């Protein structure tokens, strides 16, 4: 089955998906990669793997709705959905994977996508119900230093309108280590992410078949 991947940055999780498809540990094909940031290195990773890419730019929408960001974002999301729904049949996805995608998807996107029978999942570097939103790894690391938590983790969840709150597909705990640097924790978390993004995608695709 086809998947479309949404990215905003480095794309190390996209790379994990590209590699898993290439070595056939994931029975899927990435047919398109979309970024909301022009400078996202993940766009280079996609092109290197001969995957079509699109940069979906928020700026024109902010310019056309200077006094109303919510309207700009609504229009942006509507157009993002139609971009995906108008892909040629051989690129049309069964699943959309948000991998390092730093943009809150609104019902303007989620509703038409759901109506088309396409699932959306997101990788979030925290456990269900914890550290929703940005900089989750840093916030967990700081909570660890304050002795508030002993572990954090990573999850792949279904995307609904509420941020990082959809039904969990798969999650994995990551122990916090006394005195470890933030970079050290980030490195270990990204390792877990790269495995979980593939595992989460596999489970959802298997579920679609049934
Ligand atoms: C990862 O921690 C991801 O979960 C977060 O952004 C970081 C970078 O992801 N949303 P990637 O390297 O761009 O896939």
Is the confidence metric ipTM above 0.85 for this complex?
yes
Q: Whose CA is nearest to atom 9 of ligand 1?
A: 100
Distance, in Å, from the CA atom of 54 to the CA atom of 181, rounded to the nearest integer, reads 36
Distance 182 CA to ligand 1 centre (A): 15
The predicted pLDDT at position 209 comes to 66
Q: Ligand 1: does its nearest atom lie under 6 Å from the Cβ of 4?
A: no
- 89 DSSP assignment: G
Q: Ligand 1: does its nearest atom lie under 6 Å from the Cβ of 12?
A: yes
* % the chain with pLDDT above 70: 99
The average confidence (pLDDT) of the chain is 95
What global pTM score does this model have? Answer: 0.94
Q: Which residues contact 50 (CB under 8 A, 6 or more apart)?
A: none
Is the pLDDT at 210 greater than 60? The verdict is no
Q: Whose CA is nearest to atom 12 of ligand 1?
A: 12
Is the pLDDT at 179 greater than 90? The verdict is yes
The predicted pLDDT at position 208 comes to 83
The predicted pLDDT at position 17 comes to 98
Q: Whose CA is nearest to atom 8 of ligand 1?
A: 100
CA 85 to each of CA 73, 79, 175, 200, 203: distance values in angstroms, whole numbers, following the listed order: 18, 10, 41, 23, 23
The predicted pLDDT at position 163 comes to 77
Q: Ligand 1: does its nearest atom lie under 6 Å from the Cβ of 99?
A: yes
Query: Which residues are designated catalytic?
Result: 124
**What pLDDT digit, counting tens, does each position of 125-172 carry?**
999 999 999 999 999 999 999 999 999 999 999 998 877 778 999 999
Q: Ligand 1: does its nearest atom lie under 6 Å from the Cβ of 200?
A: no
């Amino acid at each position: 089955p086809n998947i479309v991947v949404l990215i905003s940055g480095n794309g190390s999780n996209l790379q994990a998906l590209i590699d898993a498809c290439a070595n056939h540990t994931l029975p899927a094909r990435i047919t398109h990669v979309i970024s909301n940031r022009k400078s996202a290195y993940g766009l280079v990773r996609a092109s290197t793997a001969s995957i079509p890419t699109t940069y979906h730019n928020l700026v024109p929408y902010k310019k056309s709705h200077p006094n109303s960001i919510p309207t700009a974002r609504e229009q942006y999301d509507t157009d993002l959905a139609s971009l995906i729904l108008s892909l040629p049949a051989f690129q049309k996805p069964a699943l959309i994977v948000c991998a390092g995608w730093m943009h809150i998807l609104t019902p303007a996107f989620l509703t038409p996508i759901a109506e088309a029978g396409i699932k959306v999942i997101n990788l979030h570097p925290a456990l269900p119900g914890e550290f929703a939103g940005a900089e989750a790894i840093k916030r967990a690391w700081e909570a660890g230093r304050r002795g508030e938590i002993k572990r954090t983790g990573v999850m792949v969840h279904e995307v609904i309108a509420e941020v990082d709150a959809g039904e969990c597909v798969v999650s994995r705990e990551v122990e916090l280590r006394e005195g470890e640097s933030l970079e050290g924790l980030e490195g270990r978390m990204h390792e877990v992410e790269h495995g979980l993004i593939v595992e989460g995608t596999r489970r959802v695709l298997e579920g679609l078949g049934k």
